[in-house]
A and B are shown apart, each in its own frame.
Chain A
Amino acid sequence: MDLTLRIWRQPRHDTPGDFVSYQVTGVPEEASFLEMLDLLNEQLSERGEEPVVFESDCREGICGTCGLMIDGRPHGPWGNTATCQLHMRAYADGDEITIEPWRATGFPVIKDLAVDRSAFDRIIEAGGYISTPTGAAPDANLIPVDKATADRAFEAAACIGCGACVAACPNGAAQLFAGAKVAQLNMLPQGQPERYQRAANVVDTMEAFFGSCTNHGECQAACPKDISIDFIAWLNRDYRKAKLSGRQAG
C-alpha cells in the first residue's frame, strides 16, 4: 500500500519543529508500523535526506522504548499494544497518518520523534525500589505472599515505562506510572518498611516534573499494558497517610 505520512520533524530540542509530509510506497500489509517507518527512512536516505529519528528496541512490546502519537492516539489505534506491535493491516492504501512525538512538559523532544523520558528515572530514584543490599535476603519462601496479592502486584509491575500515560493525559501527569510502581511495592510484604516514605518521596519528585492528575482516565485507555487507574488510588491513599501522620521516617 502507498501512504501519506505527516511527521513531526524537529532538528534539536532547542529549535522549532513542524510537520512534513512524506509519501511512502510499497508498504506490505504484514509489516509492522515501525517496519513501515524503516521503509520510509530507507527511501529518504536513498534520496540523501536525513532519516526520521524514532526510537525502538525489542519490537515485542516489552522494553517500552518505542512510543509514537499516531493520529492523536498514543501507540495508535489498537488497544493494549505498544507502537511496535501495531501492524499495517490496521490501514488501507491511500491513508494519511499523522505521527508525533509524546507531547508533555515532562518529556522534552530530543529530535524528531524521540523524547527525553529521564524524569521517570528520577521518580524511581526517589523511591521506586525496595532497599535490599545484595546478600541480605532470607530464603524466598520465608516471605509468603498470597496468590491474589502476588497477581495484583504483577499487574502493577507490568508497566513498561513507555510514557503513553503521560502523553495521553491532558495535564501531562505521571500518576499512572508512579501509582503502578508504588502500588506494586507497597502491596507486597517486602515493601512495607519503606511504604509511606516511598509514597511521599515518589509523589514529591513526580510533581517537580509532571502535571497534576484530575482523574480524566485517559492514561488507562492509552496504556499498552492495561494498567488500572485503581493503582493511582493506592498512591493517593499512601501519600495522604504519609503526609497526615508524618509516618515517613526521615
Chain B
Amino acid sequence: MIADLDQRRAVGPEIHGAAPTGDLAELWENHQLDLKLVNPPNRRKFKVIVVGTGLAGAGAAATLSELGYQVEAFTFHDAPRRAHSVAAQGGINAAKGYKADGDSVERFFRDTVKGGDFRAREADAYRLSELSVRVIDHMTAQGVPFAREYGGGIATRSFGGVQVSRTFYARGQTGQQLQIAGSQQLLKEVGAGRLTLHTRTEMLDLIVSEGRAVGIVVRDLVTGEIRPVTAHAVVLATGGYGNAYFKSTLAKSSNVSATWRAHKRGALFANPCYVQFHPTSLPLNSEWQSKVTLMSESLRNDGRVWVPKEPGDTRPPNEIPEEERDYYLERLYPSFGNLAPRDISSRAAKAQLDAGKGVGPLRNGVYLDFSDAIARLGRKTIEDRYSNLFELYIDATGEDPWTEPMRIAPGPHFVMGGLWTDYDGMSSIPGLFVGGEASFNYHGANRLGANSLLSASVDGWFVLPWTVPNYLAPQLGTDPLPEDHPDVQATVRDVREQIDALLSVGGTRGPDYFHKELGDLLWDHVGVERNGHSLAKGADAIRDLREEFWRDVRVVGHGQQLNQELERAGRVADFLEMGELMALDALDREESAGAHFRTEYQTEEGEAQRDDEHWASTSAWAPAGPDGRPVRRSEPLTFERIALATRSYK
C-alpha cells in the first residue's frame, strides 16, 4: 500500500441492498411488479427534469412525456440531435439470436460480465441483456435504417470481445441514426405541447433540500441568465467524463460538470478510475490537435493489426515483407485475434509502442491493414461496410487506406465510472436518477464494444420510465419547491459566486491551457497502465495545477452574454477536481481489473491480475469531508450466475 493512502482518503461503510435478489432471469419482471404506479390522470401533477438529450436523456424524456408526466428537458447544445451519442459508429448489441450462432440473453449477459472483468453488478448486466431485444424493436419501429440482408431481415456483425454476431448497425453511423431517432421522439412530444425543451441551457448545480434532489440551477448560454428550475425528480443523462484527458475521442463540449456538481452535493461517484482507451483511435499528429479522432472498432472485423518485427523499422508498410511483420493480436490471442476486447487490444498496442515498434512519422501508432480483406472480399464489399470510415480517415490524415494500412493508437474514450446508482437507476440522493454513460452500473471495469448505445437506450427507454414513477408515486399532492425557498436561493447564490470567481481571477492563461496540462498529467499517470507511485505523484500534480488555475486563469469578457471561454473555464474547474479523484481511485484500487491496469498487479503472462478476495466491489466515493479526504465506500459484488474466473481471450 502506498504509505500515505490513509492521509488521502477515508473509508466509509459498505453499501448493501442496491439491487433485489433472486433468480436473475425473473428479477426485472418481478421487480416491475413491486414498482409503484401512478394513475394516468395523476401523472400530469408530477414534474420531472431531464438533463441531456442524448440517447438516454431523449429516451427517458420522450417516454415519460408520452406517459403523461410534465417533463422539462435541458441541453447545452443548440439542438437535441447534437448530443454525443451521435458519434458512436460501430453498432448496438442485442441478444436477438437472429443468426444460428448460439447467441442468447444468457450468453450476452455472460459476455458483458466477463468483458467487464467481473466488476459489474450481475443484476444490472442481466437486465441490460434482457432488454436489448426490446431496444432493437423500438428503434426499428422509429424508422432507424439498420443494415439489412437481401431477404429484408436485419443484418448483424461481430464486435470485439465476443464470438457471436449480435451487433446491429447502420453503416458506420449507428449512433447518429439512433440519436436522431431519439431526438425525433423528443421533438414529437415538444410539438404536441407535452414537453418543454430548453436548448443552449447548461445545468450548473443540483438543488438538494432535506436530502432529496428537488431541482437544478441552469445558465442560459446566450443571455447568461442564471435561474433555478424545481421539480419532483431530476434525471441526469449528461454523458461521461473522458474529456478530462483533453485529447479524447469525445466531442469538444462533453464535460463532467453536471455529474460532478451532483457529486459535490452528496451523490456517490462510482469507479472513477475505470477509463476505456479505444484501440482504434487515430494517432496524434501534432501538438495542436484538439481531440482524438475515433475510428470504429468494427474495422477490426476485417482489418489485421500489425507492427514491424524489428524496432525502429522506418520502411513504408508495403515494403515490409510478410515474414517481417508481427500480427501481435493474432499471435498473443489466437482465439479472438484482432477482435480481442478493447482493454486488452489497447494495452497490447501500448506494449508494441513501448518496445519501439511504433509506426508513422511520430512512431506512435500501429497498422490496421485491410489488404487481405480487400483481396478476399473485393473492394465493393469493404466499401459497403466501411466507406464512410475510410473517407473519415482520408479527410483526417490525407492518407489512403485502400493502398496502405491505416495507423491507429489507443485514445481515451469511454468511462465505465459514473454516478453510483441502485438497480432503479437512482443515485445516493433520493430523487436524483442517472442514465447512460453518466451512470456506472453495466460495464464493470471494461465496456464491450456496442454496449454503450445499448446501455443508454435501455436506461432511457426501458428502465427510467418504470423506476422514476415508483419514486414519484408517494409524493402525490406535493408541489415542486417554490423558487424563493432558501435551499433554492442558496444554490443559485453558489452558482453566481463561482461564475464571479472565474471572471475575477484575471490571470494570464486561458482555460484550455489548464485543460491540456491536466490531460497530459492524466495520460502520464492515470493512463493505459498505472502504478502506485506514479498515481500518487499524479494526484499531487493535479492538485497543484488546480491551485494554479484558481490563481492564474484568464477569462475574457463578461457573464451576461454568449461567452465560450467562461463555459470552458467552469468545465475545466470541475475536471481539475474530478482528475484528482480519478487518480485517487486508481491508487486506492490495489489490483488490476479490465481497463484499470496496475503494473504491480499482473500475471506472469502480463495480463490483469484481479484480487477478488479484497476488490470484488464497486468503489463509490463520497465528497471530501471537513478533513479534506474523500470517503470511499464499497458495494460488494457477488457472482452467483456466472462464476468468477480469470478472463482469457487466448
**Residues of A in contact with B (beta carbons under 8 Å apart):** 11-12, 28, 30-32, 34-35, 38-39, 42, 44-46, 48-51, 53, 55-65, 78, 80-81, 85, 87, 89, 110-111, 114, 116-118, 120-121, 124-126, 128-141, 143-147, 150-151, 153-154, 157-158, 160-161, 184-185, 188, 190-191
The 0/1 profile, CB within 8 Å of A marked 1, for residues 167-204 of chain B is 00011010111001101110110110000000100000
B86 within 8 Å of A (CB atoms): yes
Question: Which A residues are in CB contact (< 8 Å) with B512?
Answer: 38, 42
Q: Of A49, A78, A140, which one neighbours B154 at CB under 8 angstroms?
A: A140
Closest beta carbon of chain B to A34's beta carbon, Å: 7
Given A126-B191, A140-B96, A147-B148, residue A59 in contact with residue B143 (CB < 8 A): no
A144-B152 Cα distance, complex, nearest whole Å? 5
* Structural contact, B82 and A65, CB atoms closer than 8 A: yes
Q: Of B78, B137, B510, which one neighbours A65 at CB under 8 angstroms?
A: B78
Known contacts: A118-B199, A140-B137. The answer to whether A32 contacts B152 by CB under 8 A is no
> Min CB distance, B576 to chain A, in Å?
19
* B153 close to A34 (CB less than 8 A): no
Q: Choose one: B80, B151, B293; the contact of A121 (CB below 8 Å).
A: B80
Q: Chain B residue with minimal CB distance to A64?
A: B82
Residues on B with beta carbons closer than 8 Å to the beta carbon of A188? 143, 145
Cβ contact within 8 Å between B294 and A143:
no
CB of B557, distance to nearest CB on chain A (Å):
5
B222 touches A110 (CB 8 A): yes
Q: How far is the CA of A50 from the CA of B562 in the complex (A)?
A: 11
Q: Separation in Å of the B586 CB from the closest CB of chain A?
A: 28
Complex: chain A residue closest to B295, CB-CB: A60
> Contact at A30–B285, with CB atoms within 8 Å?
yes
B281-312 interface (Cβ within 8 A of A): 285-291, 293-294
A/B pair count, beta carbons within 8 Å: 214
Given contacts A30-B285, A50-B557, A188-B143, contact A55 B78 (CB under 8 A): yes
Chain B, 366-407, CB within 8 A of any chain A CB: 391-392, 395-396, 398
- B136 lies within 8 A of chain A by Cβ: yes
Q: With contacts A51-B556, A132-B185, A133-B66 known, what are 14 further pairs, Cβ within 8 A?
A: A50-B556, A61-B395, A62-B87, A63-B86, A63-B87, A87-B395, A129-B187, A130-B142, A134-B63, A134-B461, A137-B140, A146-B152, A161-B180, A185-B143
Q: Is the CB of A53 within 8 A of B137?
A: no
Question: CB-CB < 8 A to B288: which residues of A?
Answer: 28, 30-31, 35, 38-39
B187 contacts A137, C-beta separation under 8 Å: no
Measured between beta carbons, the chain A residues less than 8 angstroms from B184 are: 124, 128-130
A151 to B79, CA, bound (A): 26
Q: Is the CB of A191 within 8 A of B143?
A: yes
**Contacting A184 at CB < 8 Å: which of B143, B175, B187, B222?**
B143
Question: In whole angstroms, what is the CA distance A46 to B565 when docked?
Answer: 12
The answer to whether B290 touches A32, judged by C-beta atoms less than 8 angstroms apart, is yes
Check A128 against B81 for contact (C-beta < 8 Å).
no
Q: How many residues of B contact A (CB 8 A)?
A: 80
When C-beta atoms are compared, the residue in chain B nearest to A49 turns out to be B556
Known pairs A120-B79, A130-B142; A61 contacts B392 (CB<8 A): yes
B162 contact set on A, CB distance < 8 A: none
A57 touches B253 (CB 8 A): yes
Q: Which of A34, A150, A188, A190 has the most chain B CB atoms closer than 10 A to its own CB?
A: A150
Q: List 17 A-B contacts (CB under 8 A).
A: A35-B290, A38-B290, A51-B565, A58-B252, A65-B82, A78-B395, A87-B396, A89-B398, A118-B78, A118-B199, A121-B190, A128-B184, A129-B185, A137-B140, A140-B136, A144-B151, A157-B180
Residues in chain A near residue B395, CB distance under 8 A: 61, 78, 81, 85, 87
Please, which residue of chain A has its CB at the minimum distance from the CB of B82? Answer: A63
A61 to chain B, nearest CB (A): 7
Q: Which B residues lie within 8 Å of A134 (CB)? A: 59, 62-63, 66, 138, 461-462, 465
Check: B644 CB closer than 8 A to any chain A CB. no
* Contact, CB under 8 Å: A58 / B290: no
Q: Which listed residue (A34, A117, A144) contacts B290, Cβ 8 A?
A: A34
Contact of B79 among A58, A133, A161 (CB under 8 A): A161
Q: How far is the CB of B122 from chain A (nearest CB, A)?
A: 25
Is the C-beta of B146 less than 8 angstroms from some C-beta in chain A? yes
In the complex, what residues of A have CB within 8 A of residue B79's CB?
Answer: 117-118, 120-121, 161
Q: How far is the CB of B71 from chain A (nearest CB, A)?
A: 13
B392: chain A residues at CB < 8 Å are 60-61, 85
Does B134 touch A at the CB level, under 8 Å? yes
Cα distance, A30 to B397, chains bound together (Å): 8
Instruction: Tell me if B166 is interfacial: C-beta within 8 Å of chain A.
Output: no
Whether a CB of chain A sits under 8 angstroms from the CB of B149 is yes
Q: How far is the CA of A58 from the CA of B191 in the complex (A)?
A: 27
How far does the alpha carbon of A46 sit from the alpha carbon of B510 in the complex, in Å?
8
Is B561 an interface residue when CB atoms closer than 8 A count as contact? yes
Distance A42 CA – B514 CA, assembled complex (angstroms): 13
List chain B residues, Cβ under 8 A from A151. 145, 148
Q: A59-B291, A185-B143 are in contact. Are A111 and B561 (CB under 8 A)?
A: yes
Q: Which residue of B lies closest to A132 (CB)?
A: B141
Inter-subunit contact A125/B191 (CB<8 Å): yes
Q: Is A141's CB under 8 angstroms from B177's CB?
A: no
For A153, the chain B residues whose CB sits under 8 A away are 143, 145
**10 shortest interchain CB distances as A-B pairs:** A144-B152, A125-B191, A137-B141, A129-B184, A140-B140, A137-B137, A150-B148, A154-B145, A57-B251, A153-B145
> Which of A39, A80, A110, A145 interacts with B562 by CB under 8 Å?
A110
Chain A residues near B144 (CB, 8 Å)?
A: 157
Per the bound structure, the CA–CA distance linking A131 and B187 in Å amounts to 11
B171 to chain A, nearest CB (A): 6
**Chain B residue nearest to A13 in the complex (CB):** B222
In the assembled complex, which residues on chain B have CB atoms less than 8 Å from the CB atom of A59?
A: 251-252, 290-291, 293
Given known A-B contacts A87-B398, A111-B561, A138 and B137 have beta carbons under 8 A apart: yes
Nearest A-chain residue to B285, judged by Cβ: A30
Bound Cα distance from A60 to B84, whole angstroms: 11
C-alpha spacing A239/B129, complex, angstroms: 42
Q: A31-B286, A111-B561, A147-B150 are in contact. Are A60 and B294 (CB under 8 A)?
A: yes
Nearest chain-B residue to A27 (Cβ)?
Answer: B288
B336 interface residue (CB < 8 Å to A): no
